[in-house]
Amino acid sequence: MRELPLAKAINEGLRAAMLADSSVMLMGEDIAQLGGVFRVTEGLQEQFGPSRVVDTPLAEAGIVGTAIGLAMRGYKPVCEIQFDGFVYPAFDQIVTQLAKLTSRHEGTQAFPVVIRIPYGGHIGAIEHHQESPEAYFAHTAGLRVISPATPHDAYWMIQDAIASSDPVIFLEPKSRYWHKGQVDVEVPGLAMNQAEIARVGRDVTLIGHGAAVAMMQQAADIAEGEGISIEVINLRSLSPLDMDTVMESVRKTTRAVVVQEAPGNASLGSEVAATLAEQAFYVMQAPVLRVSGFNAPFPPAGLESIYLPDTDRILDAVDRSMAY
């Protein structure tokens, strides 16, 4: 067991993958000598050299396009997008090329490209630096979309993503980069497409991913003091969704609240709520409630605490669910 912050856990996971497979290489803006804006790749160029840890031009479409070509030649490129809002220049390459190419080749050509995206708020940054674009990619057939919530998840899930023959969008909750947790570097965690029951409870199921998991845990601690037992589901995989684990929990608690930083309209929370309404309607004692960011552009940093969900808004939804 090692205690690591989430950013360092990703760094160690990348290191392990590069040691195990010489075809793994890293690409991105300022990731080599600087180690990236968040220092996630710090020290890796020194160990593996400039041909495997590559500083790229400021051209996200070029980064992903080059990665697609490298994948066709047998490499396993891992691309870093510096901030969530910077991914859109590469959106065409990701959703119209990378996501479609395996199908276009009728399965004869794999495209093992990982695209790392720091995402989400709570860091006091400006526009295009605190967004949550997961729904765009989860909606796109041909992509796997995953997001770790803990250092242990981060260490193993980045290795699973690199080992996958499918393209993977790896969403890193940047507000959790510096939070430490226990990492078992010997025993793997769950498979990357599995959800985790992060806390066992009996009254209400809280469902979320990334940074929302820590908020849900905090809300569960407070609710416990008020006599309400909360079960917490860490989704981990956003596409595909592990609805079996979610359904098992909701059938037990009969109540569900979905939490996310992204706006609620046409979102991951919408998909989870719709599936629960289809498959668990007759066992639930209350409608599925959603706690999310508002359907508005991300505000200036001084207003982020109003825009983003917090424990108060989660607990309010729990109270409303319990009132039915």
Catalytic center residues: 129
Tokens of 103: 């199908």
Please report the DSSP string for 186-245 in residue order.
SS--S-TT--EEEE--SSEEEEE-TTHHHHHHHHHHHHHHTT--EEEEE--EEETB-HHH
Assess contact for 176 and 211: CB atoms under 8 A. yes
What is the C-alpha to C-alpha distance for residues 69 and 61, in angstroms, rounded to an integer? 12
One-letter identity of residue 172: E
What is the C-alpha to C-alpha distance for residues 228 and 216, in angstroms, rounded to an integer? 13
What is the C-alpha to C-alpha distance for residues 178 and 8, in angstroms, rounded to an integer? 8
Contacting residues for 126 by C-beta, under 8 A, at least 6 apart? 300, 301
Contacting residues for 168 by C-beta, under 8 A, at least 6 apart? 113, 114, 115, 143, 144, 145, 146, 161
Name the phi and psi angles at 268, rounded to 5.
-60, -40
